[in-house]
Amino acid sequence: MKKVVLDTYEDVCKAAADIYIEQLKNKPNSILGLATGSTPIGLYERLVRIYNDGGINFSKARSFNLDEYYPIKKNHPQSYDYFMRGHLLDKINILQSDIPNGEADDAISECKRYDAQINAAGGIDLMLLGIGHNGHVGFNEPSVSYNMGTYLTGLTDSSISANSRFFTEDDVQPTKALTMGLGEIFRSKAILMLICGKGKAPIAKKLFEGKIHTDIPACFLLLHPNATVILDKAAALG
């Protein structure tokens, strides 16, 4: 795993954007794995600016998102579908995008459909990840075992609590999610993880201890042949 430490969050976003520019320059029809959360927002904003300036072209690229609440309407302000379209997908000329369908009647069938689409596309070329305070990636929470493909999972109490502030009293907050499994994530040809902020310093330290823990899902990336982690100093030094 390659570790890159930069001064600020803005520097992290710039470096990550440069990786996307290079990826699409070398392979215009790349399959991109995308993530939600606060960390990639700066990256998405930068990619939109670069696209508007003519510096990047997504017209032959396809994307698959990491996860989605279940059940949830696509137009719900807290759905990841809504998030991705608002921050990136509706602002660029991407050829095709796919996000797990939180409206699907049958979650198991939706997971099978999603994996089949990824496989038919040839797998993910560049997978973007963040990391949770407990080391989760997507909704792969600490556990003794992990799924290979996309699956329906219950959210932990900590995840429900952390996300509750985003839902109003009138909302029925989802307690489940559809998420790529660690096996599908690991199958990506390249992985880019962004870790920013002092609050992520403890888990960043554990990630780079060089030990594989089933209770820290992200540490399995230590085994990936082409994984890059970019941190700001706040996350790297605490």
Burial of 130 per CB tally in 10 Å (0-12, 13-18, 19+): buried
110 flagged as catalytic: no
10 flagged as catalytic: no
Residue 160 has pLDDT above 80, yes or no: no
- Active-site position among 136, 184, 224, 232: 136
Categorise residue 233: left if φ over 0, alpha if ψ from -120 to 50, beta otherwise.
Answer: alpha
According to the model, what pLDDT value does residue 112 have?
98
Residue 163 has pLDDT above 90, yes or no: no
pLDDT digits 0-9 by tens, 41-83 = 999 999 999 999 999 999 999 999 999 999 999 999 999 999 9
According to the model, what pLDDT value does residue 180 have?
98
- Active-site position among 45, 103, 134, 163: 134
CATH (residue range 24-191): 3.40.50.1360
224 flagged as catalytic: no
Q: Where are the domains of the chain?
A: 24-191
- Active-site position among 67, 68, 184, 232: 67
Query: Pairing between strand 227-232 and 67-70?
Result: unpaired
141 flagged as catalytic: yes
**HSE of 224, CA atoms in CB hemisphere, 13 A:** 26
The overall pTM is greater than 0.75: yes
Average pLDDT over residues 155-184: 83
Which residues on adjacent β-strands are paired with residue 69?
177
